[in-house]
Amino acid sequence: MPSYAITGASKGIGREFVRQLAANPTNTVLAIVRDPDSPDISELASHHPNVHIIQGDVTDPKSILEAASAAEAVTGGPLDVLIHNSNAVDMASMSSTPTQIPFDSRAVRTMFDLPFSTAIYGGLWTTNAFLPLIERGVRKKIVHISSAMGDCAFIRKSGVSDAVAYAVAKAGMNVQVAKYAAELAPKGIKVVALSPGWVDTWEGEKPEPVVHAQQVMLKQFQTAEPTLKGQIQPEESVKKCLQAIGHLDMGSSGLLLSHNGDTERWF
């Protein structure tokens, strides 16, 4: 009975991971969320007895350690796959380029703290908290949901110069994953950064500024991938991500992979 733990499971890609994994009754699915009463994940869990909602905040070391203990109680000790999906950004500064960063320490910390707290610090604390369970698991896989926006080659090819804090955090995540892969290889543990593609996770009607921003992004991304038509839905993204996770081996451990399972096709 494979076991999976997913952080940031209350919405978007995280919730879709839970939904698709829960469809197989032989899976044990641990949905790690800050708010266990979040209606969307609660409603999903009510239809799937193999889904266990666990309170856990990846930005709080004590909270995520408690979440790992709760997960251990559910599985009896082991965990096969950890998917660190939590993500947060300062939306007000996403359009800023490096030269637009203000000479204001408080403003800059506001821009960088959210993505760093979830991607970098949260990635460390979550991985370390759940590592003893992974060591006792069979599949021994740790996945950090990253982005091609943190890949230098993609930035050069696409010319995307904004979303600085988000991209820097994801680049740091990619390096952190490589460090974990190097350290944990002797234990047979595979660690990978995984880009889910350009996914439409917006819920409800999109405001005009969001629509405009996505149109600008599409043109930028088309510089790197001329055939790109637009965003994909969470269902398609997660389906491909799970296939990539299924094929993860020691040969790909430490890499930034796309949802297509390679290091080139980001869309």
Between the CA of residue 167 and those of 111, 198, 201, what are the distances in Å?
12, 14, 18
Contact at 8 Å (CB) between 78 and 133?
yes
The one catalytic residue in 3, 117, 146, 147 is 147
The token pair at 235 is 């269902």
Under DSSP, is residue 40 helix (H, G, I), strand (E, B) or coil? helix
147 is catalytic: yes
E strands of 137-238, at which residues?
A: 141-145, 190-195
Q: How far apart are the first and last CA of the chain?
A: 32
| Residue showing tokens 């892969």 | 181
Q: How far apart are CA 12 and CA 96, in angstroms?
A: 24
Which phi and psi (to 5°) does residue 104 adopt?
A: -145, 105
Q: Tokens 């000790």 sit at which residue?
A: 77
Active site includes 170?
Answer: yes
Which of 140, 141, 170, 240 is an active site residue? Answer: 170
Residue 260 DSSP one-character state: T
Decide: 22 and 48 in contact? Cβ < 8 Å.
yes
Q: Could you say which of 166, 180, 240, 258 is catalytic?
A: 166
What phi and psi, each to the nearest 5 degrees, are found at residue 28? -105, 120
| Tokens of residue 208, six digits | 């005009």
Per the CB < 8 A criterion, the answer to whether 258 and 266 are in contact is: yes
Q: Of 45, 84, 87, nearest to 64 (Cα)?
A: 84
Residues with a catalytic annotation lie at 147, 166, 170
